[in-house]
Amino acid sequence: MSVILKVLGVAAILAAPAMARAAGVEDRAPITPYKPAFAGQTRAPEQKLGVQFQTTTVAKGLKSPWGMTFLPDGRMLVTEKAGALRIVAKDGAVSEPVAGTPAVMSGGQGGLLDVAIDPAFAANRLVYLSFSEPQAGGKNNTAVARGKLVDGPQPRLDDLTVIYHQVPAIASPLHFGSRLAFARDGKLFITQGDRYVGEGQKQAQDLGSLVGKIVRLNADGSVPKDNPFVGQAGARPEIWSYGHRNIQAAAIHPQTGELWTVEYGPQGGDEINIARKGKNYGWATISYGVNYGPAKAPITGGETQRPGMEQPLYYWDPVIAPSGAILYTGALFPAWKGSLLISGMLPQGLPGGHITRVTVKNERVVGEERLPVEPNYWRDIRQGPDGAVYLLKGGPIGAIVKLTPK
């Protein structure tokens, strides 16, 4: 049994001895009556690797943080939903807000969201921010801006330019998606959501809309010539894949270079996908979840499979509320190499807030583990340059927590 010790505010966590059993980690009853399309698509066997680690709070004083990334010198950039971008020093000191950030629609799930640095940051100092962009008539949309970071006692972003606007704008405070991921070739993936409301759900299958899509852009916001729908009448050329509900967790696979995503379902149906060129991931036509509310009404016709629509590599029922993901490559935790680590939030009134580790072989999940970290509102997860795992605690009293070997 895991033992959790708290000494002087630092939680030291001793994991259980390595073991595996046929039962999965989930002991709650499924929300839905649906059956998986293939063996192992859900509730994989529990696989405890026996990794012992401790957690240390390395930064405090953040207000509703959403995303973080590392600068080459080991400092971190962290976004706060209300619109502030902060620089967090190695000693945990949090800067004053970086000047020059975009105006945001802050409310619900909206605000200043993810942050990424250009692959050539050392030369060009470019920082990318995703955010909910306010529009006329109470509407809003996902957008991405970039600017040049000017460091110093009063840091700022110069020449801020919005390089992407999701269209159409919709009056909704929800489902902006918004994770940013640079591929090996320098192309920028932007994950998005369906905006939650009915008109957005319908548009997730509409190639003439950018709602419910992953888009792929050049670093300057222009459209790559090899995007799947370039030149197709009635289709947006920015689209990489479609049929998505709300993706807040995404990472580039270190071996294949493909984009892996962990997507929110409704009640039930959080899912792992590999976002492939031109593919349709089914929302809102097929789903392993049901609508919110005690009636648990099926999504559209209650279908989980349809020809021409991709099946998730794996799904959860009930949900894990996936907010961030990494494919671990570090040396500090050799047993975790190749694992997909997923941060989960603690939705109001619902269990959750875990860090989930899954083992994937040949694009199938063969083992799952809930790391013994205190359940919390884990908003993001990153691998540091030191090989440690960093967790971003969201909410009004935010923090950065570091996992290192015990």
Q: Which of 372, 17, 67, 388 is nearest to 248 (CA)?
A: 67
pLDDT of residue 347: 66
One-letter amino acid for residue 274 of the chain: I
d(CA 296, CA 266): 10
- 59: its two tokens: 């930064």
Structure tokens of 286? 């097929």
**Whole-prediction pTM value?**
0.93
Inter-residue contact 325 to 341 (CB < 8 Å):
yes
Which residues are 1's β-sheet partners? none
Exposure of 17 by Cβ count < 10 A (0-12 exposed, 13-18 middle, 19+ buried)? exposed
> Residues 341, 357: contact at Cβ < 8 Å?
yes
Distance CA 110, CA 287 (A): 25
Q: Under a CB-based contact definition with an 8 Å cutoff, are residues 287 and 267 in contact?
A: no
> How distant is the alpha carbon of residue 340 from its chain centre?
12
Q: How far is CA 121 from CA 70, 179, 220, in A?
A: 11, 19, 13
With tokens 């700022």, the residue in question is: 156
Could you give the number of structural domains in the chain?
1
Closest CA to 379 of 229, 93, 179, 219: 179
Pair 87, 52: CB distance under 8 Å: no
C-beta atoms surrounding 95 within 10 Å: 18
The DSSP code sequence of 174-210 is S-----EEE-TTS-EEE--B--SSHHHHHHTT-TT--
Using an 8 Å Cβ cutoff, are 345 and 353 in contact?
A: yes
Give the pLDDT score at 352: 74
Q: What CATH number is attached to the domain comprising 88?
A: 2.120.10.30
> DSSP 3-state assignment of 121?
helix
Query: Domain containing 358: what range?
Result: 3-405
Q: Which residues are catalytic?
A: 175
- Alpha carbons 285 and 35: distance in angstroms, whole number: 16
Distance CA 306, CA 166 (A): 27
Distance in angstroms (rounded) separating the CA atoms of residues 211 and 234 = 14
The set of residues, in sequence order, having a beta carbon less than 8 Å from that of 171 and lying 6+ positions away, is 137, 138, 139, 140, 197
Which residue in 111, 67, 57, 98 sits closest to 326, CA to CA?
A: 67
Other Cβ atoms within 10 Å of 196 Cβ, number: 18
Closest CA to 210 of 121, 144, 115: 144
- pLDDT per position in the chain (406 positions), as tens? 333 323 223 333 223 333 333 578 988 899 999 999 999 999 999 999 999 999 999 999 999 999 999 999 999 999 999 999 999 999 999 999 999 999 999 999 999 999 999 999 999 999 999 999 999 999 999 999 999 999 999 999 999 999 999 999 999 999 999 999 999 999 999 999 999 999 999 999 999 999 999 999 999 999 999 999 999 999 999 999 999 999 999 999 999 999 999 999 999 999 999 999 999 999 999 999 999 999 999 998 999 999 999 999 999 999 999 999 999 999 999 999 999 999 999 865 566 789 999 999 999 999 999 999 999 999 999 999 999 999 999 999 999 999 999 9
pLDDT score at 24: 85
